[in-house]
Structure 1
Amino acid sequence: MFVHRIDEELALKLPELRDAERIFELTDSSRAYLKEWLPWLDFTTELKDTQSFIQSGRGNYAEGKSLGVAIVFKGEIVGMGGFNDIDGSNKIAKIGYWLGESYQGNGIMTRVARALTDYALHELKLNKVEIRCASGNLKSRSIPERLGFVQEGTIRQAEWLYDHYVDHVVYGVLADEWNK
């Protein structure tokens, strides 16, 4: 099982089925907040949806395709993050993340994104890490900017969010840039 300790209060872990209830509860309690920028909330309406997500994620992790982790803050799951896609051929990982509304403002996601970037570039020996954010999602965009990622461009109408398209800003960092 994957467990990665970031610091004394923060860790990442591969979620297990027994975590499904907490993850679903967190999703449900933050639903209105998360729905502004995440497209999957309408497809996560029951506990079984979260259970299926966990099982699928564990399978993708075993195949080296992705790594979805629960973010554990002071012993409690407070969000999810990880690599939505690991492209082994091109040595690129794409980070995704979300945090329960009541856990915002603690620097959690910056530490998570830093740890995931370190893991991708040092442990997995990848060459590049990308973070894509909706252009209007300034909180999410501040994370790669704070970590020194380079803004590489904008993908127009990259994602359908319930009733409209949003553009994605693409940020990237290369291994040799991160190591400096």
Structure 2
Amino acid sequence: MFTLTVDKNLQLALIEETFAPLYAHLVAAHRDYLCQWLAWPAYCHSEQDFRLFAQTMLHDYADGKSMTCAIFYRDELVGNCSLQEINPDLQKARLGYWLAENQQGKGIITRCVAKLIDVAFTRYQLEKAELAIANGNQPSQQVAKRLGFRQEGIITRAENLNGRIVDHVIYGLSRTSR
């Protein structure tokens, strides 16, 4: 298993098919919470759904398009954090993440995103990291601000979150402004 140590209690592990049962159980337990800000949990119910997701993400990783990691806090799967849409031509990537409701407020996402920003700027030699956060998702917007991201704009009607159309607030962080 390929892992990045964030701190003594927190690791990021490159997604594996063997994580599928863990993801299925975690999402089932937190589906209502996750559906507030993510569209996909309403459609992912089985281990097979997560196995297929892992396969796709590993292909994208091999192609240099993304890096999707499971978040393990004290050896328990608690969420996901990823570099998405890695674009070498524009030297930027978008970050995405989610965390189980019962793990909120521990700084887990802030620390994991900081680690992936470091990976983006060092390993991938990117110049910019972006976040697209649903307007109203204050906890995620606070993560962006804590990490030094600047609000760059708003994309209206950006996503259908299970029947609710939301705008995305776009945040950016450049390598030079860290």
Compute the TM-score of the two structures, normalised by the length of structure 2.
0.97
* Alpha-carbon separation, structure 2, partners of 1:72 and 1:164: 31
Q: For residues 52-131 of structure 1, what are the structure 2 equivalents within 5 Å? A: 52-131=52-131
* Alpha-carbon separation, structure 2, partners of 1:9 and 1:162: 34
* Alpha-carbon separation, structure 2, partners of 1:141 and 1:132: 9
- Structure 1 residue 16 displacement after superposition: 1.4
Deviations 1:62-120 (A, max 9, x none): 00011110001111111001112111111111000000111111110000111111110
Q: For residues 138-153 of structure 1, what are the structure 2 equivalents within 5 Å? A: 138-153=138-153
Identity %: 38
- Structure 1 residue 42 displacement after superposition: 2.1
Structure 2 unpaired stretches of 5+ = none
* Alpha-carbon separation, structure 2, partners of 1:87 and 1:159: 22
- Structure 1 residue 162 displacement after superposition: 1.6
Compute the TM-score of the two structures, normalised by the length of structure 1.
0.96
SS at match of 2:166: strand
Asked if residue 24 in structure 1 is aligned to residue 1 in structure 2, the reply is no
- Structure 1 residue 8 displacement after superposition: 0.7
* Alpha-carbon separation, structure 1, partners of 2:36 and 2:127: 32
Q: Which runs of 4+ in 1 moved over 4 A?
A: none
Match of 1:42 in 2: 42
SS at match of 1:155: strand
Match of 1:3 in 2: 3
Match of 2:157 in 1: 157
Structure 1 unpaired stretches of 5+ = none
* Alpha-carbon separation, structure 2, partners of 1:107 and 1:174: 22
Task: Give 1:62's aligned amino acid.
Answer: A
* Alpha-carbon separation, structure 2, partners of 1:42 and 1:135: 20
* Alpha-carbon separation, structure 2, partners of 1:125 and 1:84: 15
* Alpha-carbon separation, structure 2, partners of 1:99 and 1:71: 8
Two-structure CA RMSD over aligned residues (Å): 1.0
Task: Give 2:159's aligned amino acid.
Answer: E
Q: Is the 8 A contact 2:94 2:130 kept in 1?
A: yes
Q: Is the 8 A contact 2:94 2:131 kept in 1?
A: yes
* Alpha-carbon separation, structure 2, partners of 1:120 and 1:17: 24
Larger deviation, residues 42-51 vs 58-67: 42-51
